[in-house]
Structure 1
Amino acid sequence: MRKAEMVTDKGTLLIEFYDDDAPIAVQNFIDLSKKGFYDGLKFHRVIPGFVVQGGCPDGTGAGGPGYTIPCELDGTRQYHDRGVLSMAHRGRNTGGSQFFICHNRQNTAHLDRNHTCFGKVIEGLDLIDDIRQGDVIQKVTIIEENA
């Protein structure tokens, strides 16, 4: 089971990955994290009651890692519940580094099977309500656990 510890200005989120449902998105996030890609980036888009979004290297919402990955929409956990980590994109199969964390199911259900869900916040969930636009992702650390 692989997890990530995301230290933000508001505290630490522990994320559990959906390795079986979204292996490409999970590995992409892990690879970028291990390179320090997310360290120091801001949450550039925060819509209360909807999502907090980060992962844009230029802070505008238009940037990425210089490549795209395909959407993975067929897994059993492709539902945008509270705390779910999902790939942001500007059209099918255009995700790269940007991700969002859902505030609640009521306002995010329409994203199901349109954006790849690849993990979920399992500790520190209440902190997502405190994150504001401009808050910083200080560091993302990947935790590899033996099954």
Structure 2
Amino acid sequence: MKKASITLAKGQVVDIELFDQDAPGTVANFEKLANQGFYNGLTFHRVVRGFVAQGGCPDGTGRGGTEKILCETANNPHLHERGVLSMAHFGTDTGSCQFFISYDKHDYLDGRHTVFGKVTSGMEHVDALKRGDMMQNVKVWDE
């Protein structure tokens, strides 16, 4: 089982369980980027209460990206509910580095975006996010 953590600029920690069995390519991409330090210093550029907190854009606008990855929605049993980590994209198979954490259940995202993890502790810190809040350190490990 893979785990991740996002340490925010003020030291708050968000712990995440990753679904590497159900979204192996997405988790591998996130792990590679995280452990290379890609996310360190990036922000949550989009925070919409009741919807999502989105981060991981290298230029902070929501338009930046890295190498594209395939969506893994076909046999993925995880749904968009409060606390899930999901891949942001501009259309099928266009995800790369941007991800979002859902604030609530959003059925219309199911089957469109790859759910690849869920917050296990620190959701109160996600709830308190403001646009522009920085990720100090993101890491992934095997447990």
- Does the 8 Å CA contact 1:73/1:115 hold for their aligned counterparts? yes
Give the TM-score taking structure 2 as reference length: 0.96
Please say if 1:114 is aligned against 2:120: no
Structure 2 equivalent of residue 98 of structure 1: 98
Deviating runs (4+, > 2 A) in structure 1?
A: 74-78
- Does the 8 Å CA contact 1:40/1:139 hold for their aligned counterparts? yes
Gaps in structure 1 of 5+ consecutive residues? none
Please say if 1:14 is aligned against 2:12: no
- After alignment, is 5-14 or 112-121 more displaced? 5-14
- Does the 8 Å CA contact 1:85/1:118 hold for their aligned counterparts? yes
Structure 2 equivalent of residue 31 of structure 1: 32
Tell me, in whole angstroms, the C-alpha distance in 1 between the residues paired with 2:120 and 2:87: 18
> How far is 1:5 from its partner?
1.1
Structure 2 equivalent of residue 49 of structure 1: 50
- Does the 8 Å CA contact 1:21/1:74 hold for their aligned counterparts? no
| 3-state SS in 2 of match to 1:44 | strand
What percentage of residue pairs aligned between the two structures are identical? Answer: 50
- Does the 8 Å CA contact 1:5/1:143 hold for their aligned counterparts? no
Tell me, in whole angstroms, the C-alpha distance in 1 between the residues paired with 2:32 and 2:128: 27
Structure 1 equivalent of residue 70 of structure 2: 70
- Does the 8 Å CA contact 2:76/2:115 hold for their aligned counterparts? no
Tell me, in whole angstroms, the C-alpha distance in 2 between the residues paired with 1:26 and 1:95: 12
- Does the 8 Å CA contact 1:20/1:75 hold for their aligned counterparts? no
> How far is 1:102 from its partner?
0.2
Tell me, in whole angstroms, the C-alpha distance in 1 between the residues paired with 2:130 and 2:77: 27
Letter in 2 for 1:74: A
Tell me, in whole angstroms, the C-alpha distance in 2 between the residues paired with 1:13 and 1:99: 14
> How far is 1:76 from its partner?
4.2
Give the TM-score taking structure 1 as reference length: 0.93
Structure 2 equivalent of residue 126 of structure 1: 124
| 3-state SS in 2 of match to 1:94 | coil
Letter in 1 for 2:25: I
Tell me, in whole angstroms, the C-alpha distance in 2 between the residues paired with 1:76 and 1:70: 13
Tell me, in whole angstroms, the C-alpha distance in 2 between the residues paired with 1:72 and 1:7: 26
